[in-house]
Structure 1
Amino acid sequence: MSTAEWWEFLIAIPALIFSSYFLLWAVPAVFILAALALGDIKRIEFIDQQLAKNNEKLHSTLRYQFSYTIVNRFMCYCFAYPLIRHRQKTNSYKFKLFMWINCFGFWSFSLGILFLYLSDILGIIN
């Protein structure tokens, strides 16, 4: 194989991996986000207790308990989870696994688009 073909594999394989994980993760994620936004407020309160910097501010007004702010806050937690995981107070492996799966799901969406765009610019995908 020539050098150009290896270069194409280095771009196309991560794009395929990230995009495939996103497609597998997206279906359960829709149900997770719906249950979180429209379900019991105790779910997001637990996540806030674990990961929020200022938990009292989040629950001081009603604005922070609307469904769209709950989903937005959860998405921000998922994107930032590798950086804010030191804040969590629980040793629950279920919570850690739940957050890592969602973290990889949201990041795979971003990285999948990045690698697909990069492969389109470089002419790997026609």
Structure 2
Amino acid sequence: MRIGDVAEAAGVPAQTIRFYERRGLLPQPERAPNGYRDYDDSVLARLAFIRSGQAAGLTLVELGSVLDQRREGAVPCAHVQSLLLAKLDDVRARQRELATMAEELEGLIERSERLDPADCIDAETCHIIAAGN
């Protein structure tokens, strides 16, 4: 398959395929006599793996580490599980941060409803978010 065929079948731009090759996420394809890249069907499975990993929040570096383990003959399941657990911890921490931010925003909105714009002085810039009011 030529790169355009792979790109169309995988639903990604040809540039993405070239980028993944440079990053080592895809093996270098064979070259046809005319110099064009000639891919086998396994590249579609690899692209699906990359897309699924990214949908789970894994970075290209993390996905590369999984592929490296597989290339070295190891079964990467334990490594993948540790990556996913770390990602879940990150997501939960971010959720806590967002909940705190939501409370802060709700407080500022409530404050904005109580304050009179006529009382806002230039030194405060905005009395809704000015500290200590």
Q: Tell me which protein shows more helix as a share of its residues.
A: 1
TM (norm. structure 1) is 0.29
TM-score (norm 2): 0.28
- Which of 1 and 2 has higher RCO (CA within 8 Å, sep 6+)? 1
